[in-house]
Structure 1
């Protein structure tokens, strides 16, 4: 692996301001929100935390509130991922696989968690429930056509490359 010259690292290490606002209403079962954060230097995603105590029953899904709203910059997308430790150790994932936060969404960010284990999973206020990152996206120009170029793969899909 080649080393990247120091003068070129600025191109790789772009920073982006992500505006975060807190949901203001606090009911009896909802606690004040916790600011998302990176767990370690070099992490790709920030950790989102629960603003409620909830028990995720075995085999069930539930929306878990984070208490934050974000302003994803135009030309980017916010992506919500499951926490790998919770997936491996407790069978907790995102019901929709990956959550998408569009740049024009201004509501509360929530994680639709699902419990595929045999045991109930207890979530407390402040527990890390999901990971969030922002990535640039291109705007697609949709071009209708009567056929597509051919490839060696063609229309061979699902399992066509073997085990």
Structure 2
């Protein structure tokens, strides 16, 4: 299996270990809640949870912040923005925008793994503006969207 590696500078101001891959095949590293005490995450409320992690990535690399599937399934914890993007020129602390989608509170513990961070290459668009929609090439799909191919 071929895996691309990329050097990422990291500063950890928390008392918890550096983010790490849990298995050899893991695509993401876990981020921990850098909170002083237990936090009751109330239903349908949004929280900004610090991680204590600061990173520097080369241009062309982004960090994607994703929900942890176990917390989502068992406790309804998700990210408000679906997937968060950390741009390579951002130098602030990585914070998790967390929401509790269930109808019961969740007790978040200090140091608990609350999200995943996945690194990915990205492409920047070089736009070529056209003056009408007819200048776009036709395709088999056309303008079919949102369920156009069935359920």
C-alpha distance in structure 1 between counterparts of 2:80 and 2:116, whole Å: 14
- Contact kept? 1:55, 1:121, Cα under 8 Å: yes
Structure 2 counterpart of 1:85: 70
- Contact kept? 1:34, 1:51, Cα under 8 Å: no
- Which of the residues 47, 50, 61 maps onto 1:76? 61
Q: TM-score, normalised by structure 2?
A: 0.91
Matched, 1:66 2:48: no
- Contact kept? 1:65, 1:109, Cα under 8 Å: yes
Structure 1 counterpart of 2:85: 100
Q: What secondary structure, in the 3-state scheme, does the structure 2 residue paired with 1:108 have?
A: coil
Consecutive unaligned residues in structure 2, runs of 5 or more: none
- Which of the residues 18, 30, 36 maps onto 1:47? 30
- Contact kept? 1:33, 1:66, Cα under 8 Å: no
Matched, 1:21 2:8: no
Structure 2 counterpart of 1:27: none
The size of the alignment, in residue pairs, is 146
Q: Using CA pairs below 8 Å that are at least 6 residues apart, which structure has the higher relative contact order?
A: 2
